[in-house]
Amino acid sequence: MTSVPGPESIDDLLARVHVVALPMRVRFRGVTEREVALVEGPAGWGEFGAFPEYDDPEAVHWLRSALEMAWQGPPPALRSRVAVNATVPAVSAGEVAGILDRFPGCGTVKVKVAERGQQLVDDVARVAAVLQARPDARVRVDANGAWTVAEAAHAVRVLDQAVRAVDSRRAPGTGPVALDGLGLEYVEQPCATVDELVQLRARLAADGVHVDVAADESIRRAEDPLRVVRAGGADRAVVKVAPLGGPRRLLAVAAELGVPVTVSSALDSAVGVAAGVAAAAALPGVRSGADRAGGGGAGDDGIPAAGLGTGGGAGDDGIPAAGLGTGGFFVEDVVDPGVVSLVDGYLPVAAVAPDPARLEGLRASADRRDWWMDRICRCHERLQPR
C-alpha cells in the first residue's frame, strides 16, 4: 500500500500520543470503557483505536489511518454536513426511547440484533420499540455475523415483517395487520463468511424476502475487501475509515465496490468520528433536484447523506445515512459536548482538536498507556519499508 506522510521517527510519534479511556453509557461490543490513542500531527489529529483483540497485522491499518489524518489531513469535502443514523445497542425494549433521545433528527435507525444470550423475540421487541418512538424511521439491523444461514433467513423474514406491520396509529388487536409498509432497509453482516452471505442472498430471493444484505466485517477484516461483492454476497457495503487504512483508502475501496456504501464508525472518539465524517463528505453522490436547480456547489447542504449509487435511508437523494452518530454512547469524550453534536440528524464536516483538560482528565492508567505504546511501536515497525 502506498505510504503516507508520517513522523520522522518512532520517538517523534510516541511523543505525540495521548492514550485516553472513555467511559460508556451502555455496554457496546462487550465493553463499558473505550480506550484509544490520539496522535497530534502537523495536519491535525488522528486516532489509533484498533480493538484489543485485533492482532498487529490487522491493527497496522488503524495506525496508518491515524498517521494519514495527523500528517496529511482529510480529503477535499464535497458537502458541509453528513446525515447519520441513530444506533440502538442490544438493550431492552424499554430502554430504546431514551437511547433515541440522544440522536435528535435521525430518520434512520440501526438496531443491534443477535446478541449472545438473547432471543429473536428480544430483537423484534427492540425494533418495534424503535418504530413506536419514531414511526417514520427507516430501520436497518446489524447481527455482527452471529447467525447461520438458516437462522438469518428466518430472522430477516420475521424482522422485515415486524417493520412492515408496525403502525403506531392502530391500536393492538383491532384487526388484521397489513404488511404493505416499508420493510427493513438492510441487514448488516447477518452471517460470518462470504460463502454464507452468498447462500443467504440466494435463500432470501427464493423465499421472496426483499431485504438487502450489507457486508461489514467481510470488508473491513478481509485481506481482499472487494471479494464479498464480487462473489455476490452483498448488495451494499459498510465501510470504516480506520480498518481500511484511512479516508483515502476508503474512498478508493468504495469506488471499486460499485454498490451503495454506508460510512460507519468503529466506536470512535470525536477525533475518529471526524475522520469518518470527512470520508463521507468526500464521497461522490447524487444531488437532489432542488439542489441541482439551485446551482449549489461543493459543501452545499443539499446532500443529506453519503454513499455511492442509490439506496434507501435518510436522504432525499437516496444515499444511505452514515453510521457515525456513536458519540452519544460516551459519558465523556475528548471534546466539549457542543463541539461535535447532531443538528437535525446531521454532523458537520469540521476539524476536531481534543480539549487539553479532557485529555488529562480521561488519561488512561500507566499500564494501559504502556500497552498502547508497545502496540504502536510494533505496528509502526510494520509500516516501514523492508
Question: Would you call 327 helix, strand, or coil by DSSP?
Answer: helix
- Marked catalytic residue, from 18, 112, 236, 358: 112
Which residue, among 186, 281, 201, has the nearest Cα to 241 in the 3D structure?
A: 281
Residue ranges in 194-326 assigned as alpha helix (H)? 194-207, 217-220, 227-230, 241-244, 247-257, 270-282, 289-294
Return the exposure string of 265-278: e unless at least 16 CB atoms fall within 10 Å of the residue's CB, then b: bbbbbbbbbbbbbb
State the burial class of residue 231 (Cβ atoms within 10 Å of its Cβ: 0-12, 13-18, 19+): middle
- Rounded CA separation 193/201 (Å): 13
Active site residue 240: yes
Which member of 18, 240, 358, 369 is catalytic? Answer: 240
Q: 478508493: which residue's cell?
A: 252
Q: How far is CA 262 from CA 25, 100, 145, 299, 323, in A?
A: 25, 20, 17, 19, 7
Contact indicator for 351, 48 with CB cutoff of 8 Å: no
Which amino acid, residue 45?
A: W
List active site positions: 112, 240
